[in-house]
Structure 1
């Protein structure tokens, strides 16, 4: 087995890793946005219910 890895192979692995990291970042960002929206909705609902008391 050769230890010589071509530059194109390394470049492709770096590209694939970069795409994976980008997808993970986007997923995390979307998850945080969803959580923030849920928190805002909950706070708004709570305030609305509190005002009815």
Structure 2
């Protein structure tokens, strides 16, 4: 009985880790999108100046 509870705890921890990884990936993805948008905006601005 105690053994299966420990297994479930470990499974729960694994799920939490995956969840955190997913959140981090989403945040990094958002930064990537922001960088791309910023780069596009800057290059358009440069093109307008020239």
What TM-score, normalized to structure 2?
Answer: 0.87
User: Which entry has the higher C-alpha Rg, 1 or 2?
Assistant: 1
Q: What RMSD over aligned residues (CA atoms) do the two structures have, in Å?
A: 1.3
What TM-score, normalized to structure 1?
Answer: 0.82
Q: Structure 1 stretches (4+) deviating beyond 2 angstroms?
A: none
Partner of residue 12, structure 2: 12
How many residue pairs get aligned? The number is 47
Q: From the two aligned structures, give the one with the greater helix fraction.
A: 2
Gaps of 5+ in 2: none
